[in-house]
Amino acid sequence: MAGLLHLHSTLLPSASALRRRAGAPGPSTSRRRCRVEAKIREIFMPALSSTMTEGKIVSWTAAEGDRLAKGDPVVVVESDKADMDVETFHDGFLAAVLVPAGESAPVGSAIALLAESEEEIPAAQSQAASFSSSSSGAASPPPPQESDAQEASPPPPPPAPVAVAAPAPPSPAAQGGARVVASPYAKKLAKDLGVDLFSVAGSGPGGRIVAKDVEAALAAPKKAAPVVAARPDVPLGSTVPFTTMQGAVSKNMVESLAVPTFRVGYTITTDALDQLYKKIKSKGVTMTALLAKATAMALVQHPVVNSSCRDGKSFTYSSSINIAVAVAIDGGLITPVLQDADKVDIYSLSRKWKELVDKARAKQLQPHEYNSVIFEIPFLRPHLFCTFTLSNLGMFGVDRFDAILPPGTGAIMAVGASEPTVVGTKDGRIGIKNQMQASFLCLVELVNVTADHRVIYGADLAAFLQTLAKIIEDPKDLTF
């Protein structure tokens, strides 16, 4: 549980709801009606990243009518980067679900109603019906229509699906190819104990897997069953819509086309690095961490390569060196960030990298752990951003490729495979050495057919590459 940051939904009274409910039928006095409305709060779709414009409801971890305490998780939201638990800021009862599991809602729109007491649940459900009727005829879902006449016009049956959609499947984790719905601690416990969450039946709200379910699964006898159900084949010729993450990647790639870039390639001999890796691999050191550490050490000597231009009028020298590394995950990719990579020892850096990769593949990264823009994000504390990116396809045998520059950054390095190559030695003989090829994509401003390197000049990048080569070819300082 340590180190996990849970994002909280903002629960605020709806001013429009107060005005709308003021005319509700019933023998209560106006004072009573005002008191009731003050106890019904909206749960909003939070912004979980700077690029998020809408979120998809993965599952509701509480059902309508459930009592909730401040800090209890109520819903799992899929952003453009990860799945995250959203907690409440208030005690109360989940009175009505406005957006069922599997559907999306814009950031800032109401997705559920929270009543302070059981007595207020009927009033909240009546309010939810008006949300449903208003959203069906309005372009913008968040603000409901204020007209009492419009509230009365739709027949009562249509709002019923709001209540029907609330109960979650009994065991989401057991569905073939589905996303596991479990508490963060249960996921961590399952990872530590080697328990496959797809084989665990959840006993929490809506079938959510909790820690005791993992412990029970560990004690149960092993079953000879498939580990993970195969994903159904997509029929040829079919059109598949983007997932939230794929949509975000597409948007970023299109934005990158507006950035003028150039590429510089360099060949680095890796024999010494390979020998060092073999010596310290047993201590948990990864090659990715070694490359990130070497890159960070070179950036210390060449801060301009660690700079970036965001407004087209100036560039910023970053105060820290945060290395983002691209990780392929199911349905997309994400770039976890190794912060202050120049200051962290290689063993701690490797442990951190393994932790980030595990969380990335489980879609449990927190916003401050992956690459995002520096700008402030609603509902979130200011968080770190990447200053340099690595993309490594060497494990696939790729010798050279181009990487697309992420928006808001100054440079990205594409790393190919280290392969035996015939080279000339210093004494004029022919020898065989392992070599790695790296190519760079850098942010510049072009004012004519020659590049006006307003941020990173060709000489700057060439000097950086020379420094990086020296560090990799004589890597003794990487372990200090």
According to the model, what pLDDT value does residue 118 have? 80
List the chain residues with pLDDT less than 50.
1-38, 137-178, 223-231, 373-384, 442-453
Contacts 24+ apart (CB under 8 A), 399-404: 399/437, 400/265, 400/437, 400/439, 401/439, 402/263, 402/439, 402/441, 403/326, 403/439, 403/441, 404/253, 404/256, 404/441
Q: Of the CATH numbers 2.40.50.100, 3.50.50.60, 3.40.190.10, 3.40.50.620, which one belongs to the domain with range 7-164? A: 2.40.50.100
List residues bridging with 433 in a β-sheet: 421
Judge: domain 172-219, CATH 4.10.320.10.
yes
- Are 42 and 17 spatial neighbours (Cβ–Cβ below 8 Å)? yes
Say how far apart CA 168 and CA 59 lie, in whole Å.
7
| 261-320 pLDDT tens trace | 888 888 888 888 888 999 999 999 999 999 999 999 999 999 998 988 777 788 888 889
Would you please indicate which residues are annotated as catalytic (active-site) residues?
Answer: 453
Say how far apart CA 245 and CA 77 lie, in whole Å.
12
Say how far apart CA 6 and CA 214 lie, in whole Å.
21
Domain 246-479: CATH architecture, name and number where available: 2-Layer Sandwich (3.30)
According to the model, what pLDDT value does residue 323 have? 92
Domain ranges of the chain: 7-164, 172-219, 246-479
Rounded to the nearest 10 degrees, what angle do helices 211-219 and 184-193 cross at? 20
Say how far apart CA 280 and CA 346 lie, in whole Å.
10
What pTM, to 2 d.p., does this model score?
A: 0.55
According to the model, what pLDDT value does residue 37 have? 47
Strands 323-325 and 337-338: antiparallel
